[in-house]
Amino acid sequence: MKNEQIGARIKEMRKALGMKQDDISRVLGIGKSALSMIETGRASLSERNKNILIQELNVNPEWIETGEGEMFNSPLETFIPFIRRTDRTLPMQSVPLYNIEGTAGLVPLFTGQTQVRPVDYIHIPNLPKCDGAINIVGDSMYPLLKSGDIVLYKKLNSLDDIFWGDMYLLSIDIDGEEYITVKYIQKSEREDCIKLVSQNPHHADKDIRIDRIKALALVKASIRMNSMR
């Protein structure tokens, strides 16, 4: 019954956007027949596909699951022109927040090797398109970022897409262990390396071999997590 209800909402959403099954199939990266099975309730909507609908089409996650609330995170008349544009700044979006300790690292999270369920969604207006968010640990970017803050990121598929000097979320292989950090990335004097630069002056710059970088994302925004003690 739940599959049928969610499937009916996916169909309703598609029609509200004026999109055909072929269009939604391309967004999800699945076949038209697979989408048809989801819409008719013969197949369940995977967590991956749900996240794509939330991130790419701005669908309200609560509405997908329960049918309650608005269908979209911003008015439809505002959002429809957005999906025709290329600047990718959303009037409102639901960014999935992940518990990095529960995902076995950035690589499975970024590559989709495992189905990762977000612990929550962050709703922020007028931000560039983000793929996800995690809590960071450590003080290498203090005072700009402190341990426990949330960073919102956009995944990069190639080091060729790096904007030198910007802030990145990285997964680095150190003796077989994954080290996750947020750093500025600058060009290194060594051809096979990049230079990682901290905001905190007590952390020295470090050259890291490119082949040790296993996952990379551009930091698009951050949220300061204050606590009263």
Per-residue pLDDT tens for 142-182?
A: 888 888 899 999 998 888 888 888 899 999 998 888 889 99
Instruction: Report, at the CATH architecture level, how domain 1-85 is classified.
Output: Orthogonal Bundle (1.10)
CATH assignment, 90-229: 2.10.109.10
Q: What are phi and psi of 97, to 5 degrees?
A: -100, 125
Question: Picking from 10-19, 21-30, 89-98, which range would have the lowest pLDDT averaged per residue?
Answer: 89-98
Q: Where are the domains of the chain?
A: 1-85, 90-229
Q: pLDDT band at residue 104, thresholds of 50, 70 and 90?
A: low
- HSE-CB at 143 with a 13 A cutoff on CA atoms is 0
Per-residue pLDDT tens for 63-76?
A: 999 999 888 876 65
| Residue-wise burial string across 127-156, b where 16 or more C-beta atoms lie within 10 A, e elsewhere | beebbbbbbbebebbbeebbeebbbbbbbb
- Calpha distance 23→226 (Å, rounded): 42
Neighbours of 14 (CB within 10 A): 19
The residue type of 46 is S
Judged against a pLDDT cut of 80, whether residue 81 lies above it is answered with no
- Calpha distance 184→196 (Å, rounded): 6
